[in-house]
Amino acid sequence: AQSVAQPEDQVNVAEGNPLTVKCTYSVSGNPYLFWYVQYPNRGLQFLLKYITGDNLVKGSYGFEAEFNKSQTSFHLKKPSALVSDSALYFCAVRGGGDYKLSFGAGTTVTVRA
Amino acid sequence: DAGITQSPRHKVTETGTPVTLRCHQTENHRYMYWYRQDPGHGLRLIHYSYGVKDTDKGEVSDGYSVSRSKTEDFLLTLESATSSQTSVYFCAISAGLAGTGNEQFFGPGTRLTVL
C-alpha cells in the first residue's frame, strides 16, 4: 500500500523568508510524486512533479521540490515566500503501475506580511 | 480549472434522498476520478474510470456508485445520502496510460450537505 505523510498541519512564515513544506512517502517501486496547492473555495492546482531524473524539480510560481530517495522525502520549497502563497498544500504519490494517487492530509501555509 | 466543470456547485439535501453529482470535461482525457475532501484526511478516492463504461472502486466507495456513458461525463450517485457523506467532492481527470507520470487536473468542487 502507498501512503504519504505531511508531518506539519500548519507552517507560518514571514514574507520574504524561505518556505518549506515537508512530505514523506511510502510506495512499492519507483515513486511518482506531486505537489498541489488549494486556495480557498477552489479546486486543487498542480504545482510540480517528480518522475525521474534530476532530484531538484522546479514548478509553478517559483516553487521547487527536492526528491530524496534515501529519506523517502519530497519537500516543497520556495526561497522567498509571498503573502499570496498562503494556501493549503497537498503532497501526493503514485507507485509505478498504478494510476491512483494517494494524498497527504495537507499543510496550511500562512505567510504574514 | 482545466476544462472541468462540476454541477451542482452546492447542494443541501436530507438523509435518505438520492443525490447525483456530475463531472463534465472538455479535454477528452481517458481517466476520470471522484474524490471527497474532509479536514484531516486530505483527498480520498471514491471511484475512478479508465474508459467509457469502465469503472472501479477507490478506498471509500461504500454508499457511492458511478457511471460513465460518454468520455466527457462521469456521474457520482449517492443512492441514499447519509450525514457522513457531507463533504466537498472533487472530480479529476488525467491523460495517458496507467502508471505514467501524468498529473491529475481538478474541477472546482461540489459542497454537499446532508441534513
Q: What is the pLDDT of residue B39?
A: 86
Mean pLDDT computed over B74-103 = 87
Domain assignment of residue B45, yes or no: yes
**Could you tell me what percent of chain B has a pLDDT over 90?**
79
Domain encompassing residue A71: 3-112
Domain assignment of residue B114, yes or no: no
Q: Which three cell numbers stand for residue B48?
A: 475512478
Contacts of A105 in chain B (CB under 8 A): 40-42
Q: What is the pLDDT of residue B93?
A: 93
pLDDT tens string A7-24: 999 999 999 999 999 999
Helix or strand (DSSP H, E) at A25:
strand A24-26
- Quote the CA–CA distance of B12 and A10 in Å, as a whole number: 30
CA distances for B104 relative to A28, A45, A101, A113, B4, angstroms: 20, 9, 9, 32, 11
CATH code at position A72: 2.60.40.10
Domain assignment of residue B115, yes or no: no
Contacts of A39 in chain B (CB under 8 A): none
CATH code at position B47: 2.60.40.10
Interface residue ranges in chain B relative to chain A, Cβ cutoff 8 Å: 1, 4, 31, 40-45, 48, 50, 58, 90, 92, 94, 98-109
Nearest to A100 among B1, B41, B58 (CB): B58
Contact state of B50 with A99 under an 8 Å Cβ cutoff: yes
Q: What is the tally of structural domains in chain B?
A: 1
Q: What is the pLDDT of residue A28?
A: 85
Task: Identify the three-state secondary structure at position A61.
Answer: helix
| A residues 12-41 lying closer than 8 A (beta carbon) to B | 32, 34, 36, 41
Please name which of A88, A73, A64 lies closest in space to residue A22, comparing C-alpha atoms: A73
Q: What is the pLDDT of residue B97?
A: 54
Q: What is the tally of structural domains in chain A?
A: 1
Nearest to A99 among B42, B90, B99 (CB): B99
pLDDT tens string A22-60: 999 998 888 999 999 999 888 899 999 998 888 999 999
